[in-house]
Each structure stands twice: as C-alpha cells, then as structure tokens.
Amino acid sequence: MNVKKQIFKGTLYAVVAGCMWGISGIFGQLFFRDYHGSPLWITSTRLTIAGIILLVMSYSRDHKRFFDVWKSKKNMPTLFLYVFGGVFSVQYFYYVAIQLSNSATATILQYTAPVFIMLYLFIFQRQVPKPKSVLFVILAMIGVFLLITNGNIKHLSISPLALVSGLLAGVAVVIYSIIPRPLLDKYGALNMTGWGMMLAGIACNIFYPVWRINFRIEPLSIFYVLTISIVGTALAFLLLLRAFQLISPLVVSVATATEPLTSVFLSIPLFGLKLTLLEMVGIVMVIVSVILLSKSEQA
C-alpha cells in the first residue's frame, strides 16, 4: 500500500473510531441518568455483545485460522494483558469516570493517554523524548489541572475517584495500543478484537452478569445499550486496532482528538453543560498539546 494512502486510511479509521467513542460516552451518560444503570453491567453487556459479533464475523471470514492464537502458549501473557489490562480496564474505568463526573470530563482525562505512551516508550524502550515533547506534556497536564480544578487547587470540580478512574482509563489505552501489536499483525485485527472483547466480557460477567438487570427494559434503554455495544465498542475498537496496524500509536492519538471534541460538543445541548473560561482553556490545552506532541514525535 502507498505510504500516503496508508497514513490517510489509518488516520480516517482513528478519526471515525474517536467519534464513535465520543457518542458511546454520551449514550452511557444518558443511560446512567435515565436508568441509573451500573458501570459494571454496561461493561459486561457491551463487551459480551461486541465479542459475539466480532467473533462471528471472524469465523465467517476465515474459520480455519479462528483458534490460531490459542495454539501457542507464548501468546498467552500478551493476550491476557491485552484483555484485562487493556480492553476490560479502559471500558470499566471510563464508565466509572462518566458515572462519577460526566462524559466530557471522563473523555478528556482518558485523552491524556499519549502522555503515558511517551512515558512507556521512554521507560521500556529507552526512547528519550525531545525537549519539545516534554514541554507539550507539561502543557497537557496544566490543561487537565484547569479542567478538574477550575484553576483553584483547593477545590476539585470532580471527585478524586473520578480523576483516578479517568487517568486509569488513559493508562489502559496505552496497554491495548502497544501490547497486542505483534498478535494483531499475525492473527488480524478482527480475530484479536473479537477474542479480546469476549474474554473481557466473560471475566466481567463473573462479577456482574448481564442477567442482573436493575433498570426498566424499554425501547429507549435497549437502544442506548445496543448503540454503546455495537457502535461504541465493536465497530470503534475494530477500526482503532486496524488504525494501529497502519500508523503509529502517537499518530492515532492525534486522530482520536475527535473523541473529546464529540463528547464536549454533544454534552452542551444534551446535558446543558456549561464550561467556565478556564475549563475551556484546559480542554483546548489538552487537545492542542497532544496534537503538537504527536507531531513532534513524528518529526
């Protein structure tokens, strides 16, 4: 594939995935607001539904290689770290952060993931960051500070648990972005995403099974759940992992800036979200800093 075409295609996949994630976060907040559902239940349900859909697609596409990833014991540590440290954790902690704060704030906190990617590359792969990159990291952290404190260090605009949950979701992004790349190249994004979703869904069902329903089952609640599961999970993760095969994790992080933007812009009409000037500055600083960071790393 032509390099420019590859970069364009990978970037487009990541842009669309980011929009889908942003929409999924909004629907999650609507679900919590209207039906008081549990983050663990929605995590169990969306992972299970998405896993079934993707595995059926994988089997129908190439049933002969469907179980190949399980044939080598060497794959197991990588597979299970990807499943539990990445897929499960990013879903669960993201929705906990939404429930404890709101979709826009949770998405912005998760969007600090490129900072953790840079730290991972420095610690584990001895890639020393450029001075400009360090500056952009500092600016991004200042942006997060403004968002969660509104400029007042004595007052958090969100709870400490919401802050920690959002940042843990960002760390989980690093795990599923970098760890499974050898398996993705060998077994394909569709197969690996399907197994990842299914295994994480099974594990989550042990703690909170999908049949433990504590909300009203009606067309609107079903619509929320299916949109979150299919659009915001199965399709979004499949596009994202395909993007990671075509372009670098930091370039993907630029393209997925559509996630916090989608979340913030939809929160304004749907939830009457009102941002202070400092909060708006914080959001802009995070997004711009991450974009500049990614460009700096690619130069």
pLDDT tens across 63-104, in order? 989 999 999 999 999 999 999 999 889 888 988 888 888 777
Residue 1 pLDDT > 80, yes or no? no
To the nearest 10°, report the CA torsion of 108, 112, 114, 119.
180
Chain centroid offset of residue 156 CA:
24
Token look-up 């906990």 returns 96
- What is the rounded CA–CA span in Å between residue 28 and residue 40? 12
Q: Are 290 and 139 in contact (CB under 8 A)?
A: no
* CA dist list (Å): 182 to 16, 77, 217: 24, 12, 41
pTM for the full model? 0.78
- What is the rounded CA–CA span in Å between residue 110 and residue 133? 19
Instruction: Return the amino acid letter for 123.
Output: I
pLDDT in tens, 249-285: 777 777 777 777 788 788 888 888 777 888 888 888 8
65/241: higher pLDDT: 65
What are the backbone angles phi and psi of residue 188, rounded to the nearest 5°? 95, 150
Tokens matching residue 177: 């972005």
Sorting pLDDT into bands at 50, 70 and 90, what band is 141? confident
- What is the rounded CA–CA span in Å between residue 64 and residue 46? 27
- What is the rounded CA–CA span in Å between residue 253 and residue 137? 13
Burial class (CB in 10 A: 0-12, 13-18, 19+), 81: middle
- Within 10 A of 112 (CB to CB), how many other CB atoms are there? 24
Q: Vertex 268, ends 155 and 137: CA angle to 5°? A: 55
What is the reported pLDDT for 147? 73
Residue 163 pLDDT > 80, yes or no? yes
- What is the rounded CA–CA span in Å between residue 150 and residue 155? 8
What is the reported pLDDT for 227? 92
pLDDT in tens, 173-225: 889 888 888 898 889 888 998 999 999 999 889 888 999 988 889 999 999 99
DSSP string, the chain: --HHHHHHHHHHHHHHHHHHHHHHHHHHHHHHHHH---HHHHHHHHHHHHHHHHHHHHHHH-GGGTTGGGG-GGGHHHHHIIIIIIIIHHHHHHHHHHHHS-HHHHHHHHTTHHHHHHHHHHHHH--PPPHHHHHHHHHHHHHHHHHHHTT-TT--SS-HHHHHHHHHHHHHHHHHHHTTHHHHHHH-HHHHHHHHHHHHHHHHHHHS-TT---S--SHHHHHHHHIIIIIIIIIHHHHHHHHHHHS-HHHHHHHTTHHHHHHHHHHHHHH-----HHHHHHHHHHHHHHHHHHHHHH-
Sorting pLDDT into bands at 50, 70 and 90, what band is 297? low
